[in-house]
Structure 1
Amino acid sequence: MKSLNIAYNPRIDQLRWLAALIVFLFHFYIEYRAAGGAAIGSPWWGIVTEGHTGVGLFFTLSGFLFMRIAQGKGEIQYRDFLRNRMLRIFPLFFVIFLLATSIQRDRFQPQDLFYIFATNLGDSPTSRSVVTGAAWCISLEFMFYLVFPFIARFALEQGPRYLLKLIALMLFFKAAAYAESERSTLMYFSTFVGRFDQFLVGMLAAELFVRCHGWLRRHALWLAPAALALALGNSALQASIAPFNASPKSAFWIFWSLQESAVWAVLILGWVSFERRLPHWLEKALCHGGKVSFSFYLLHAAVIHSLGRNVGLPQLLEQPLANALALGAIVYGATWALATLSYNTIEEPFLRMRRRYGREGTPN
C-alpha cells in the first residue's frame, strides 16, 4: 500500500524486502542447526549467522523514510501521524500479541497486558515463544513514532548538527550503561539505549540525501554494491569479534548499533539514488516482498519453527548445502504466501483508512 504522504519509491520496498530476507535467513539457520544441520564455520557468512542485523536495516530505513516525509512537509500533524502509524502496525501486532497470550495461557498474569506497550522488556508474553518472538522490536518502533515529529521539527530547524548531538548523547548512555548491566549485549540489542541511535542515523542519512542528491545519483552505480559489500564485511567482523550469543560480554557492542546503522545508511543512500530499472519481473517481485514485509517479519519465525518442530530436517537432496538451500527456499515460499494472505486480510483494510498528516504534499 503506497503512502499518501510521500511519492512512492520502489527502492524503499526493495530495501524492506532485503531486511526481511536477512532476518529470515538468521532464524532459519538457528532452526536448521537445532534440527541437526551443519554449522557455518566461516565468519564471512556473518550476514546469516548474525542476521539480526536486518532489524538494524529496518530501524535505519524507518528514520530515513520518515525524515524524507518531514522534509517535504512544512509541519507534521501529530494526531494524524500517530493515527496512521497505529493503523499501520497495531492490527497485526495485536493479533500476534493475542497469539502469544493464548500460547502462554497457563502462565498468563493480568499485568501481562501492559507488555503490549513494552514487548522488548522483561518477561513479555511475545518473547516466551519463538512463534511470536519477533514482536519485540515493535515497541521500539512505536517509541520512535511517538517522538519523531518533535525530533524532525528540531532537526529541520537546526540542521544535521541536532541529530549529531543526539547521537553523541546516545553514545554516552551506551558507555554509561555497559558496566551496569550483566547482560549488556541483550540490553544493546533490544532497548532504547542500544537502538534509538539507528533511527537517528537514518534521519541523518535523509539530510545527506537532500544535500548530496546529485553526487549520489551520479555515483549510485558503484555506491550501492560497495555498500552491500561493506555490510557483508561488517557482519563478518561482528561474527569474528563479538557474535550475539558470545560470552563474556564485549565492549564492541557499545559501538555496534551505530556502526551497523552507518553501514546500512550508506546502502540506503546508494540504492535509493540508483535510478536504473531492474527487469520488470524482478522489480515486481521485490516490491511485493517489501509490501508484505511487516507480515513476513512477524510471521516468519512461526513458519520456520512450526515446520522445524513438525517436519524436522528432511533429506531432499544428497549434498548437505544443496539440501539446506532447497529447504530454505521451500520455507521461504511458504512464509511469502502466508505473509501475502496476512497483508491482504489484516493489514490492507486498515491501511486504506490512513490520511495525510502534513500540510504539504500530494498523494501518489
Structure 2
Amino acid sequence: MKSSSGLHFIALDHVRALAAFMVVTWHFIHATNGYPVPFSYVPELFPLCLLDEGHTGVALFMTLSGYLFAKLVDGKSISFGAFIWNRVLRLLPLLVIVILITGIKTLLDGMSLSNYVHYIMQGILLPTLPNGGWSITVEFHYYIMLPMLLWMLSKSNRWILSIVALSIALRFFLHHDRGEIQSLAYWTIIGRIDQFALGMFVCQFRTHFAHCHKIALIAILTLMMVYWYFDIQGGFYNYPSYPSHSPFWIILPTIEGIAYAIGIAWYDNSFSFSTSGLSKFISLIGRYSYSIYLLHFFVVFAAAQFVNERIMSISNFYLACFWSLIFFLLMMIPGYISFRFVESPFLKLRKNYIKK
C-alpha cells in the first residue's frame, strides 16, 4: 500500500499477502491444540512445512518491516515524532476496536474484566495484547529503536550486523540462565530484532539480488529444509514441549531473518509486476493484511471446526490447507470493510516523516 510519501511497492504487498496466509493457515489447520491437524504431522512435501509451521509468517512480516522502512528512508533522516504519529494512525484504530470487542466478549463469558484490563496495560511492554496484538507491541519496540538503527546504517552498513550478533549472544546467555529461550525469541523483540535488522541490512544491497535466482533459491530452500527438520523434531509446541529447552531457538530467528531478507530483496528487484489482474488481486490482499491478521482470530477456529464437523473431515493436512485458502480469501470481505471504514480514514491524517 502507499506510504505517507506516496510510494507504493506492489511486490511488497505480495509479500504481505503471503505472510498473512501463512499465519492464517497455521491457525486454521492447528488451532491451539492440534485440531483438526495434529501438531505431530509432518508434510511429505518439505516446502509445505512453512505452512505446517505457519507461525513463521510473523518472521516474514518483521523482516519485511525492516526492509520497507530502510527502502523508504533510503539514507535520509526522519522526523521521529511524525514517524511515530504515522505508526499510531496506521496500527492503533483497528487494534483499539479489537481490544474493545475482546473485552466485551470477556464480560459475556463471565471472565474478570479487571484482569483483562491488566493484560491490556501490560501489552505496552509484554506480549499480552489479544488477537495477535502482541506482534504490534514488538513492532513498536522496533520503532523506538529505529533512529538508532538508521544512524548505524548511516555510519556503516555492517554496524547493524552487530545488533544481530549481540541479540544472538543475549539469547545464548538467557537460554543458559533460564533453561529455555523460545518464549522470548518468538514473542518479544529479543528474538525479533534480528529480523528487523537483517531486513534493513539486506535492503542496502537490494539491487545486488536482482535476478540472482540461484542465491534466492538457495536461501529459500535452506529455510524450508531447516523448517522440515524443525517440524520433524516436534515443531513449535512439541520440540519436545512448550516452551522448548532446545538451543535451536537461539539461532532460528536469525536464520529466518537472513532467508526472508534475501527472498524479499530478490522478489522486489527481479520482476516487474502488473497493476491489474492477479498481481493487483494479491496486492489487495496485502493491503488488507493487517485487518485480516487481527480479525481472523475471531472466527478462524470456529470456521475450521465447522468445516471439519459439518462439511468434511479436514484432518488431512492437504485438505486442511485447501480449506484454509478458501477461508483466507473469504476474509478479504471483512478485511476490505475494516480497511475502508476503520483504517483508511486515519491514514489520511498521516504526515511525511522523511526529511529531504
| Category of TM-score, reference length = shorter chain | 0.7 to 0.9
Whether contact under 8 Å (2:291, 2:338) holds in the other structure is yes
The TM-score with structure 1 as length reference comes to 0.86
Q: Which runs of 5+ in 1 are unaligned?
A: 127-131
Pairing partner for 2:354 from 346, 354, 358: 358
Mapped to 2, the partners of 1:290 and 1:103 lie a distance apart of: 28
Cα shift at 1:341: 1.2
What's the offset of the Cα at 1:325? 4.8
Task: Confirm whether residue 216 of structure 1 aligns to residue 184 of structure 2.
Answer: no
> In the TM superposition, what are the counterparts of 1:47-126 in structure 2 within 5 Å?
47-73=50-76, 75-105=77-107, 106-109=111-114, 110-120=117-127, 124=128, 126=130
| Residue identity matched to 1:58 | F
The one of 152, 155, 160 equivalent to 1:154 is 152
User: Match of 1:238, as an amino acid?
Assistant: F
Instruction: State the aligned residue count.
Output: 344
Q: How far apart are 1:119 and its partner, in Å?
A: 4.9
Deviation at 1:89, TM superposition (A): 0.6
The offset of 1:324, in angstroms, is: 3.1
How far has the Cα of 1:32 moved from its partner?
A: 10
TM-fit CA distance, 1:280: 3.4
User: Which residue number corresponds to residue 42 of structure 2?
Assistant: 41
Q: 1:92, 1:295 within 8 Å by CA — same for their partners in 2?
A: yes
Matches within 5 A, 1:89-238: 89-105=91-107, 106-109=111-114, 110-120=117-127, 124=128, 126=130, 132=131, 134-156=132-154, 158-209=155-206, 213=207, 215-217=208-210, 219-238=211-230
Q: CA RMSD in A?
A: 2.6
3-state DSSP of counterpart to 2:331: helix
Conserved in 2, the CA contact under 8 Å of 1:50 and 1:239?
Answer: yes
**TM-score (norm. length: structure 2):** 0.87
Q: Distance in 2 between matches of 1:197 and 1:184?
A: 15
Gaps (5+ residues) in structure 2? none
Matches of 1:317 and 1:104, distance apart in 2: 31
CA–CA distance in structure 2, aligned partners of residues 329 and 252 of structure 1: 30
Comparing 229-238 and 286-295, the one that deviates more: 229-238
Residues 224-283 of structure 1, C-alpha deviations (whole Å, 9 max, x = no match): 555443432232132134621122521111001001110101101110112333593111
Alpha-carbon contact 2:25-2:325 (below 8 Å) kept: no
Separation of aligned partners in 2, 1:326 and 1:174: 37
Mean CA deviation greater in 231-240 or 171-180: 231-240
CA contact (8 A) 1:10 1:287 kept: yes
Tell me the distance in 2 between the aligned counterparts of 1:315 and 1:153: 55
Answer with 43-52 or 263-272: which moved more. Answer: 43-52
Query: Partners in 1 of 2:140 and 2:73 — Cα distance?
Result: 17
CA 1:6–1:208: 2 relative to 1, 3 Å = farther
